[in-house]
Amino acid sequence: DSKKIVLKQDESLPKAERIKLSQKDEGLIGKRVKVFGRIHRIRVQKAATFLEIKDGYGKLQCILPAGDLTRNHDALLFAQETALAVYGLLKRVPEGAEAPDGRELHVDYFEVVGGAPSDLEAFSNKVSKDQDPWEASMLDNRHLVLRGDNASAVMKLREAIELAFVDSYREMEFTKVSPPAMVQTQVEGGSTLFGFPYYGEEAYLTQSSQLYLETVIQSLGNVYCIEKSFRAEKSLTRRHLSEYTHVEAEMDFIEFDDLLEHIEELICRVVDKVLANPTSAAYLKLLNPGFQKPSRPFMRMRYADAIDWLNAQEEPILNEEGKPHVFGDDIAEAAERKMTDIINRPIFLTHFPVEIKAFYMQKDPKDLRVTESVDVLMPGVGEIVGGSMRMFDYEELIEAYKKNDIGHEPYYWYTEQRKYGTSPHGGYGLGLERFIAWIANQHTVRTCSLYPRFMGRAKP
Ligand code: 4AD
C-alpha cells in the first residue's frame, strides 16, 4: 500500500550539495546534489519515472527508479508544477541519450515542497501551449503562462536586452537618470494622457521622459533612462500597450545625421551583445531561429519619398480612408507595416511634416514644411523608435506651444533651457517591447511584457 511507504533519506550517503541548474561545471558530475525545482514534465515507465525539473536557471532530467521512490503517496500525486527538493547523484547521460546539459540526476530521495493539482485544475488544463496570446483565458492566466518555456525565454531574453542597452550606453558615455512618472505636462498629445488627482491638483502618468532628459544634458552630457511610459491608447493593436518600457536618450551639440548614426550604432551594439552572450543567444535561437543581424547602413527614406513609394506599388497601399496617400497624411500602422514587410530591412523614415508631429520638433532648415524627425521601422513590427532634433530657439518654441494650443506655463522649466545656454540637441525613444517583438519574432508586444496592460486589462 503506497500510503504506508514513508521515504527516508539514507543517512549513510554523502551530504548533498545544494546547486542551482545554472551551475554546469564538470566538477559536479559524480557528486551527490540537492536541487529545488518544479516538475516540468513527467514520464512514467515500468523501470523508472522520469521527471524534468526546472528551477528558473535551467532544466534537469531526474530518474526515480521504480520502487519505494515511485510508489509512495507523494510520488503518485506528482503533477506538472509540483515543487520538489530532489537529491541524488549527478551523472553524464549515457552515450546517445539526450537531456538538458547532457546530464541526469539519479534520485535517491525527494521531498515535496508544494503540491500542484492533477485534476481538472491541472496546469496543462489551464495553460495550453497552442493558445493565442490574445485569448482572454491566456491573459487571465498570465501568471501561469509565464511558467512555460516560451514565455520564460522571452523574459530571460528581455533582461539580457535591457542589460545590453545599459552596457552600450555606458560604453558610449551616457549617464543614466530616473525622471518622474507623475507629471503635469504632456509630451505626445493630450488624447493619450492618463490623468489622476494629485493632492487637489491634476497630474498625469508620463508619456515620455524626453522633456526631463532635455533639462539635464547641460550638466550631465548625454543622458538616457529606461522607465515606464503610459499611454491611454483607445485601440487594441498588436503593438500598443497602456504601460510600456521606454528606452530614451538625449544628446547635446549634435546634428540630425549624428542622431541617425547613433541610433543605428546603438541597435547594432545591442544585437551584437545579445548574440555574443551564449545564454541570451540560446534564448534568441529558441524564439527566433531565423534571426539575422541587420546589415548596415540601415536604409534611409524621407517621408515624402515613402508617400510616393506607397502610391507606386503595383497595388497601391492606401491611407486609412481608402485613398492614395498624399503629403501630410499620417502613415497609419497597417500601411507602415506593409511597407516595412515588403522592404524587409530596417528603415529610417525621416523628415515628417510639421503638422503630424509633436510640438517640440525642430524644422528642417532646408524645407520648413518638414521636421528633423525619424521613425525606425523594423520588419514584422513597424515603428520601434521615434526621435527628432528639438526646437532650441526660445521664441520659436513659444510659437509652437501657441500653434498646438498648449498653455506654456506648466512648461516653464522646459522652455527655460532655451534661455540659459541653448544648443542644438536631439534624442529618441525606443519601445522595449517592440524591440523584443522584432528580435524574438513575437506576434504582439503583449507577450514581451511581464503583465501586459492595454485597453480593458489591468490584471493580473
Ligand atoms: O514615437 P513616440 O511617441 O515618441 C516619444 O514619446 C518621444 N518623446 C521619445 C523621445 O524622443 N524621447 O514613442 C517612442 C516609441 C515608439 O517608437 C514605440 O516604440 C514606443 O515608444 N511606443 C509604444 N510602445 C508600446 N505601446 C505604446 N502604446 C507605445 N507608444 C509608443
User: Are 86 and 105 in contact, with CB atoms under 8 Å apart?
Assistant: yes
Q: What is the pLDDT of residues 148-190, one digit of tens each?
A: 999 999 999 999 999 999 999 999 999 999 999 999 999 998 8
User: Are 33 and 19 in contact, with CB atoms under 8 Å apart?
Assistant: yes
CA–CA gap between residue 33 and residue 108 (Å, rounded)? 10
Counting atoms of ligand 1 from 1, which one is nearest the CA of 249? 12
* 385 CA distance to ligand 1 middle (Å): 7
- Ligand 1 pocket by C-beta < 6 Å: which residues? 187-188, 208, 210, 231, 233, 240-241, 244, 246, 248, 383-387, 427-431, 433-434, 445
Q: What are 324's three cell numbers?
A: 492614395
Of the residues 191, 213, 217, 229, which should be mutated to test ligand 1's pocket, given the most ligand atoms within 8 Å of the CB? 229
Which residues pair with residue 176 across a beta bridge? 224
Residue 43 Rama label (left phi>0; alpha psi -120 to 50; beta): beta
Which residues pair with residue 374 across a beta bridge? 350, 387
CB-CB neighbours of 423 under 10 Å: 13
Of the residues 192, 233, 235, 244, which should be mutated to test ligand 1's pocket, given the most ligand atoms within 8 Å of the CB? 244
CA–CA gap between residue 159 and residue 144 (Å, rounded)? 19
Say which CATH topology domain 144-448 has.
Answer: BirA Bifunctional Protein; domain 2 (3.30.930)
Q: Rounded mean pLDDT of 398-414?
A: 95
* 109 CA distance to ligand 1 middle (Å): 53
For ligand 1, atom 2: residue with the closest CA: 386
User: Are 426 and 254 in contact, with CB atoms under 8 Å apart?
Assistant: yes
Quote the ipTM score.
0.99
Distances from the Cα of 216 to the Cαs of 167, 219, 249, in angstroms?
A: 21, 6, 11
Distances from the Cα of 277 to the Cαs of 169, 292, 433, in angstroms?
A: 17, 16, 20
CA–CA gap between residue 374 and residue 372 (Å, rounded)? 7
* pLDDT of residue 40 exceeding 70: yes
Signed CA dihedral, 186, 428, 382, 359: sign only = positive
pLDDT score for 119: 86
CA–CA gap between residue 7 and residue 4 (Å, rounded)? 10
CA–CA gap between residue 365 and residue 369 (Å, rounded)? 9
* 247 CA distance to ligand 1 middle (Å): 9
User: Are 251 and 259 in contact, with CB atoms under 8 Å apart?
Assistant: yes
CA–CA gap between residue 30 and residue 62 (Å, rounded)? 14
For ligand 1, atom 7: residue with the closest CA: 429
What mean pLDDT, rounded, does the chain reach? Answer: 95
Which residues pair with residue 53 across a beta bridge? 39, 60
Q: What is the DSSP string of 283-334?
A: HHHHH-TT--PPPSSPEEEEHHHHHHHHHHSSSPPP-TTSS---TT----HH
pLDDT score for 4: 74
For ligand 1, atom 9: residue with the closest CA: 429
Q: Is 269 helix (H, G, I), strand (E, B) or coil?
A: helix
For the chain, domain boundaries:
2-114, 144-448
Can you count the helices (H) and strands (E) in the chain?
Answer: 15, 19
Distances from the Cα of 457 to the Cαs of 118, 242, 315, in angstroms?
A: 29, 9, 37
Q: Measured between alpha carbons, how far apart are the two ends of the chain, in Å?
A: 42
Classify each residue of 315-341 as buried b or exposed e, where b means 16 or more C-beta atoms within 10 Å of its C-beta: eebbbeeeeebeeebebebebbbbbbe
* 98 CA distance to ligand 1 middle (Å): 45
Q: Domain 2-114, CATH 2.40.50.140 — does that match?
A: yes
Of the residues 186, 187, 208, which should be mutated to test ligand 1's pocket, given the most ligand atoms within 8 Å of the CB? 208
* 188 CA distance to ligand 1 middle (Å): 9
Residue 82's pLDDT band, with cuts at 50, 70 and 90, is very high
Distance of CA 53 to the CA centre of its chain: 26
CA–CA gap between residue 194 and residue 325 (Å, rounded)? 32
* pLDDT of residue 129 exceeding 80: no
Residues in the chain: 460
Counting atoms of ligand 1 from 1, which one is nearest the CA of 428? 11
- Of the two residues 130 and 220, the one the predictor is more confident about is 220
At residue 352, what is the residue type?
F
By percentage, how much of the chain surpasses pLDDT 90? 93
pLDDT score for 1: 60
* 359 CA distance to ligand 1 middle (Å): 15
* 213 CA distance to ligand 1 middle (Å): 15
| Cis amide prior to 197 (ω within 30 degrees) | no
Q: At what angle do helices 432-439 and 149-171 cross, to 10 degrees?
A: 120
Counting atoms of ligand 1 from 1, which one is nearest the CA of 384? 19
CA–CA gap between residue 303 and residue 260 (Å, rounded)? 15
Which residues pair with residue 388 across a beta bridge? 373, 427
* pLDDT of residue 444 exceeding 90: yes
For ligand 1, atom 28: residue with the closest CA: 240
* 250 CA distance to ligand 1 middle (Å): 14
Q: What is the pLDDT of residues 324-367, one digit of tens each?
A: 999 999 999 999 999 999 999 999 999 999 999 999 999 999 99
For ligand 1, atom 11: residue with the closest CA: 428
